[in-house]
Structure 1
Amino acid sequence: MRENITTVSSGTLPKPQMRGLLARHLRFHIVGAVLVSLGVAASYKFGVAEPRKKAYADFYRNYDSMKDFEEMRKAGIFQSTK
């Protein structure tokens, strides 16, 4: 027999609480799921999205599209321009 089971003085096990059991467990798991999803969203925002936006802003701050076009035209990438 298991040692860690609590027994009533008469030697029988107490009845488990069945009424509202699903609601109590769902409430606990829904709160946990919301907290985990908020944590994942925040870590994605600050770990991926913000550095990506900063990298794009840094790239386009000094980007010259006409200079890039001329370099690609001289390299022969475009077939319609010479």
Structure 2
Amino acid sequence: MSLPKPMMRGLLAKRLRFHLPIAFTLALTAAIAFKYTVTEPKKRAYADFYKQYDAVKEFNAMREAGIFESVQPTGK
């Protein structure tokens, strides 16, 4: 009883024909999942924050707190 010879010629091409589409499908699925579970909620959170954000009010609050050295608080 002898073992059959292993197929060496064309083995990489045969394996790639099977594994390459699977790898691309998994990569695409992971990219889409990341987009909709991480980046879209983050974009929405930034948009909601900047709808309510008032830069002038924030600047005046920091100026009154004395954070800036070049801008004097009003009333001094």
Q: TM-score, normalised by structure 1?
A: 0.76
Higher helix proportion, which one?
A: 2
Structure 1, unmatched stretches of 5+, are: 1-10
Greater RCO (CA < 8 Å, at least 6 residues apart): 2
User: Which residue number in structure 2 is paired with residue 51 of structure 1?
Assistant: 41
User: Which residue number in structure 1 is paired with residue 70 of structure 2?
Assistant: 80
In the TM superposition, what whole-angstrom CA distance separates every residue of 1:9-38 from its partner, at most 9, and x where no partner exists? xx4333333332110112222212211211
Structure 2, unmatched stretches of 5+, are: none
Amino acid at match of 1:59: F
Structure whose CA Rg is larger? 1
Amino acid at match of 2:51: R
2:6 to 2, 8, 16: 16
For residues 52 and 20 of structure 1, the distance between their equivalents in structure 2, rounded to whole angstroms, comes to: 47
For residues 17 and 67 of structure 2, the distance between their equivalents in structure 1, rounded to whole angstroms, comes to: 60
The secondary structure found in structure 2 opposite 1:48 is helix
User: Which residue number in structure 2 is paired with residue 31 of structure 1?
Assistant: 21
Percent of pairs with identical residues: 54
